[in-house]
Chains A and B, each alone.
Chain A
Amino acid sequence: MFKFLEALEKYKNECAFAFLDGENKVEVSFEKYYSDVKKCAYNMESIMGPLDGKHVAVIGLNSYEYVVVICALMFSRAVLIPLNFRETQDNLEFAVNHAEVEYLISDASKDYDFGSHVKNLKYADILGGENEKELTDFTEEEADKLFMIVFTSGTTSLSKGVALSIGNIFKEEKIALPEKYSHGFKAVPGFRVYTNFPFYHIGGLLAWVTWAEHGCTMVQSANPMNVLEDLLYQEIDYACVIPATVKLWLKQIRRGNMDRLGNVKIITTAGAPVSVDDVKEIQSHGIAFGQYYGMTECGGNITFNFDMENHIASVGRCYDDGSVEIIDGEICARYWGNMMGYYKDEEETAKVLKDGLVYTGDLGYVDDEGYVFITGRKKNLIILSGGENVSPEELERYLQKNENVKECLVYEDNDRIAAGIFCDEACQEEIQTYVNELNKTLPIYKRIYKLEFQNHEFEKTALGKLKR
């Protein structure tokens, strides 16, 4: 089991975090971080009693406080449930109830009420003070204990809670830059890594674990909207970002604003497919490029590609301690990070986790050198360049609540959501108004930007399902 707390001690003089916010930039050493974590653990125990096995959800923007709270929860042996603050109320309520959340910890930006059975705490209640609780690293005996429940978009229902064990996260050292294949870049103390994955996403959680394990500095925008301002006059080595950020940065490079990228030397993407043209353009400016592929169900990344020159369209090769098999055209992964299952959902678990293999729902093949290529998607899920997974069925359910919608089909169109609607011509305007109102209740990435009306039924499969 990786000794995470020992690593925090070992790198105590290094900078752990830099949260960028103009003149209000915050830099924190590992020593201060570990001390703040222990204080938070002490405060939480004083308020909540022993935390071992307690289900505690955390919701809020990426911040220093967030990483203090989640680390304190983890090493107090609570079960951590990170929630997406951009999710719809329906999905949040489902997640809180399904994961049997006892406490909800949130930042000051918003108040939540999930009923009297969920007690609310704010960061201010549990941070600071003088007293510290001594924390210990995980032991081998704890490997199979439930550690966290991370919600991802389900294809047929509300979100699904991926149950990960302590072993899924800490069994081995996390390798972000495999030495043999990473262009000589090494994860060494002081290496500055910029990432804009949110901490409620497995990519953000693992970025924090991975880079902290090696004493690297995690650089983040306090407000992710400021991605184009924050890196000006900053120096970073590595950026792991969503593909949409690469598109944004390329426009800046074309306009001669290279200085807005913080002198980055290597960019990697994860969370969604990246365009081959974008990769080539980035490389043409002397910036190395890599990408990761994985899913929450595998406890994070399962493949990496740092040889884009020779395998540009590939998501990469499997980590040395994992393997990929193709079964009936579907990419299946065996990895020590593979989840315990979906929390309290045996039916869905049985569909995805079979004999220790995670069936990813992606179709593809593996070439002679072990590089994985994705050719399509078996599961019905829209993945946008922002890394967001959107279930068409969820949006179709909302549309079907309008009685004038006879049939509907939600699909991706140019990196955003569109819907085909079968209805009477006279109802089109009313439906457009309904969708405008519906959009106001949805997070920005789930909004339906285009409606295509038709006056005939959609094509169906032999089983009567809509043909997608």
Chain B
Amino acid sequence: MNEIYSRLAAIIEDVADIPQDDFNEDSSLMMDLDLASLEIMAIIARIEKEFSIKFTEDELLSVETLRDAVEVISAK
């Protein structure tokens, strides 16, 4: 869990230019991190590449917070 979160946080910092200290597992991608839809798509593309996984449409919809994303990745 922690390792996945660290990698995810690094991707978010890299794509959205938000320091990792400014968010945590409970942060909402849209509401707290204020990410635009194109940024979220770019982040997902990076996650898919780095973790060699593919999100289904339903999984994408279920992700609201970073914790949700970590859970989806862990389950793969």
Q: Measuring CB to CB, which residues of chain A are less than 8 angstroms from any residue of chain B?
A: 223-229, 242, 244-245, 247-248, 251-252, 254-255, 257, 385-386, 414-416, 439-440, 444-445, 449-450
Contact = CB atoms under 8 A, between A and B. Distances in A.
A440 B61 CA distance: 6
Contacts of A440: 61
B46 A228 contact: yes
B17 A415 contact: no
Contacts of B37: 244, 386, 416, 444-445
Contact of B15 (A223, A251, A254): A251
B36 A416 contact: yes
Interface of B: 14-17, 30-31, 34, 36-42, 44-46, 49, 61
Contacts of B42: 225-228, 248
A30 to B, nearest CB: 30
Contacts of B49: 229
15 contacts: A224-B41, A225-B41, A228-B45, A229-B49, A245-B38, A248-B39, A248-B42, A251-B15, A251-B16, A255-B14, A385-B36, A386-B38, A414-B34, A416-B30, A450-B31
A442 to B, nearest CB: 10
B46 to A, nearest CB: 7
A417 to B, nearest CB: 10
Contact of B31 (A224, A445, A449): A449
A244 to B, nearest CB: 4
Residue of A226, A254, A445 with highest tally of chain B CB at under 10 A? A226
A461 to B, nearest CB: 32
Contacts of A414: 34
Given A439-B61, A449-B30, A449-B31, A386 B46 contact: no
A416 B31 CA distance: 11
Q: Is the interface of B mostly helix, strand, loop or mixed?
A: helix
A245 B15 CA distance: 12
Contacts, number: 55
A27 B34 CA distance: 37
Residue of B16, B17, B39, B49 with highest tally of chain A CB at under 10 A? B17
Given A386-B38, A416-B30, A255 B17 contact: yes
A449 B16 CA distance: 19
Contacts of B30: 416, 449
A385 B37 CA distance: 10
A226 B30 CA distance: 20
Contacts of B45: 223, 225-226, 228-229
Contacts of A248: 15, 36, 38-39, 42
A386 B36 contact: yes
Contacts of A251: 15-17
Given A251-B17, A449-B30, 8 more contacts: A225-B42, A226-B42, A244-B38, A257-B14, A386-B36, A416-B30, A416-B36, A416-B37
Nearest to A247: B36
A225 B38 CA distance: 7
Contacts of A445: 37
A416 B30 CA distance: 10
Closest 7 CB pairs of A and B: A225-B45, A251-B17, A244-B38, A225-B41, A444-B37, A440-B61, A226-B45
A140 to B, nearest CB: 42
Contacts of B15: 228, 248, 251
Contacts of B31: 449-450
Nearest to A241: B38
Contacts of B36: 244, 247-248, 385-386, 415-416
Contacts of A444: 37, 40-41
A229 B1 CA distance: 26
A129 B11 CA distance: 44
A234 to B, nearest CB: 16
Nearest to A414: B34
A247 to B, nearest CB: 7
A322 to B, nearest CB: 31
Contacts of A257: 14
Contacts of B39: 248
A198 to B, nearest CB: 13
Nearest to B62: A440
Residue of B14, B34, B42 with highest tally of chain A CB at under 10 A? B42
A384 to B, nearest CB: 8
Contacts of A416: 30, 36-37
